[in-house]
Every structure is written in structure tokens, then in C-alpha cells.
Amino acid sequence: MNKEKIMELYARHVSSGKVEMYKKYDIALVPHKRRGVFLYDITGKRYINCHCNGGVFNLGHRNKKIMDAVKKAMQRYDIGNHHLISQPKAMLAQKLAATMPHGLNQVVYGVSGGEAIDTAIKLARAVTGRPNIISAIGGYHGHTGLALATGDEKFKKPFEPLAPGFIQVPFNDVEAMRAAVDEHTAAVILETIPATLGIVVPHKDYFKEVLKICHSHGALLIMDEVQTGFGRTGKLWGFEHFDVVPDIVVLGKGMSGGIYPITATVYKEDYAFFFKENPFIHISTFGGSEIGCFAAMAVLDMCDSTLLNNVNEMTDYFTKKLSMLSSQYPKASFTVRGLGLMMGLAFNDEMTALFMVKLLFDNGVYVVYSGNDPKVIQFLPPLIITKREADLVIAAVQKSVQALSQ
């Protein structure tokens, strides 16, 4: 099928709105062949994926080790049955627990990040017996029921009435958090580095302070590592940078290895009593599919010191080169922010950032801007990117800022 035909069919049966928008800005990418850091449009044009779907493609597209693990698993396993006891689920949970701080060793599996967030919120409400959930203004935790309720008005208004008990406060503001948390608070839920808010890195003590506030009121801290997990920030888990141990951690995206959807809600043993008393109160037919467990185990095996060293080296390289380009082209200047390869390129205004997204697209680099702060381009290269591939990205950025300056 040619590109026109696919787009016509997609518009007719899946999303006419998306097709219209991509056509309008001439940024329609219909992925065909894909491998490593590269994604090819059906016309053959090559892109370097510096969006990575928020971390789904941390290990690149169609990573051989993940594919091999899944192929091998398919010789013996299938989705499995969530009613039954499962060896792959037990093995993966043991592996996940071994990577977490002491006590964070209980795992509930899901299919999507939103589902895993819903599970975290359900658990927090169940173990505290309290209603309120506090999240960040401009944060993003997904579009399922409870996850949606944590988000901004623009996403949830058409779907009202939503679950009650959700309160938003500004991110990275300890005093606002102190004023919001009380004896009705079940949990505070925060992304370690909110991507949709514009890759905002909070100050070093923020999470420690929030945890103190939570615990002094008997509330829990849930950290959403859906994007920051699995090495993205240069450590396995983003919260490790902040010297904090959350009560519940939510994992998604990169856990799939880009091959098989699987997510997890990891929580402290202290709260295991709830599901012990109610083992069938939370069900997910496809959650923690056994094939997916093998994909996730292979992902964890790959998130070793070699990968993390590459992330840290590439972070330094990109930061240096991108900052140089920014000062070389003052008309298109931007600041580079983030932690590890969870990077944001913050431009002076939204229009410049939008032009830059388009120019980068034309020059073969796929990125998106932050939905709740469009002057920031989310820059998330695959964690396996080599220096040579990074140079291709930097050359495309140079071409784009040059064009932008003229």
C-alpha cells in the first residue's frame, strides 16, 4: 500500500483528525522499516528517533536481544492466565525487586502506564482509607480513569464527571505541597521529571521534602517512572538521583523493550497486607503477560553499567554540542535541560520551538514538543545511541538552527 492510501484508510477508520493535522504541517511519518535508532517512513526517508515514544524505544527499534528473548519465550509460553500462579511473573518480580531500594519488593503487573497508575492510586486509597490524591499542575500520568483525574482540565473536561478527590499543586514547590497535604490525603503522585510539563528537573531536595510531608501526615508518595525508568536519566531509576525511596513506583514504556507491552506498579512490602486479604480485588487479564515478562527481563539485563555509561557519555556529548550550537546561532538560541538523556531543548517562545520540530523533521530527526509547555522540545534519543549516530543528530540540529536563524 502506498503512503496516500494508508493515510486515507487511517483517516477513514482510525483518526481523521491526526491525518489532517500531519498533512497540514507536512509532517506525516508512516513508519515502515525500523532498526536501532532509525525509523524509516514508508517512502524510504530515514529518521533518527529522538522521541522514542517517551522511552518505549530506549533500546532502539527491534532490539535483537529483546526479540530473541521474546522468540524463545514464544516456543513455550503465551499470555498466561492471571488467575494462576506464574513462573515468569515471579521471576520478573524478583528481578525488579533486586533493583529497587530495600522494601520495594511487591509487584502488580499491567498492560499500560495509565493502568499501572490507576493501580497505584487504588492501592494508596485502599491502604490509607483516605480519598485525596495530589498531583502536579501540568503533569501527565495517562488517560485511563484515575490517571486522567490527576491531569489538567483540558484533557478531562469532556469526560466529566470524573472520580472525586483529585487536587493539583505547582510542581517543584514544597510550600504548595505542604499546604495541600492533610489527613485526607492518600497519596501524592509525581513524575520524577515531568515530560509534558517541559522536562522540568526539580531541585535536589524536592522529593525528600515531599516524602517528609507525606509521611508526617500518613500519606504515601507515588513516583511515576514511566518515562524516567530503565536508565533514561543515567541511573536505572530516576528517583535515585534524589536520594529518596518512594512508597510506590510506577514503571511502563521502556519495560516493553519496544516489543511487548508490559507495565508494573512496584510497592513497599508494608502495604502487601491489602492484596493478601483481597487477592482477586484487582484484575488485569493481559497484565504481566508471560511473553511480556521475558521481554522485561531482557530489558533489565540490558540496563547494565555499559548502557548507563553510554547514557552518561552521550549526555555530556549532546549537552556540550547542543549548547555550542545554541550560542553559535543566537537567533535560535535554546537552553538544554534535563537529567541524562531525558533532555529538553527550551526555546524562547513556542513558535520557534514548533518551527524547530518541523525543521528537524525535514532534516531526518523525529522529536515532539511538550504538550503543557510547547516552547520545550522533548529530546529523548535512544539510550543505545553511538557517537557516530549522535553526530548525525547534531548535524541535523545545526542545519535546522541555521535555517531558523535566517
Q: List residues binding ligand PLP (CB under 6 A).
A: 54, 112-114, 117, 140-142, 191, 195, 224, 226-227, 252
Give least dist CB 124 to ligand PLP, A: 16
Give least dist CB 195 to ligand PLP, A: 6
Which CB, 339 or 396, lies closer to ligand PLP? 339
Q: Which DSSP symbol is given to 256?
A: G
Strands (E), 63-219: 104-110, 132-136, 166-169, 185-191
Strands 365-366, 46-49: parallel, antiparallel or unpaired by DSSP?
parallel
**SS in 3 state form for 155-172?**
HHHHHCCCCCCEEEECCC
Which CB, 118 or 389, lies closer to ligand PLP? 118
Which CB, 227 or 326, lies closer to ligand PLP? 227
C-alpha distances (whole Å) from 46 to each of 307, 361, 364 are 25, 10, 6
Grid coordinates representing 157 are: 473536561
Which CB, 191 or 247, lies closer to ligand PLP? 191
Which CB, 119 or 185, lies closer to ligand PLP? 119
Give least dist CB 82 to ligand PLP, A: 19
In DSSP terms, which residues pair with 395 in a beta bridge? none
Strand, coil or helix: what is 84? coil
Q: How far, in Å, CA of 9 to CA of 348, rounded?
A: 39
Give least dist CB 271 to ligand PLP, A: 21
Cis peptide, bond prior to residue 381, ω within 30 of zero: no
Give residue number: closest CB to ligand PLP.
113
Give least dist CB 196 to ligand PLP, A: 7
Helix axis angle, 64-74 to 290-302, nearest 10°: 150
Which CB, 145 or 218, lies closer to ligand PLP? 145
Q: How far, in Å, CA of 39 to CA of 280, rounded?
A: 41
Q: How many CB atoms lie within 10 A of CB 29?
A: 17
Which CB, 230 or 329, lies closer to ligand PLP? 230
Give least dist CB 362 to ligand PLP, A: 25
Give least dist CB 143 to ligand PLP, A: 7
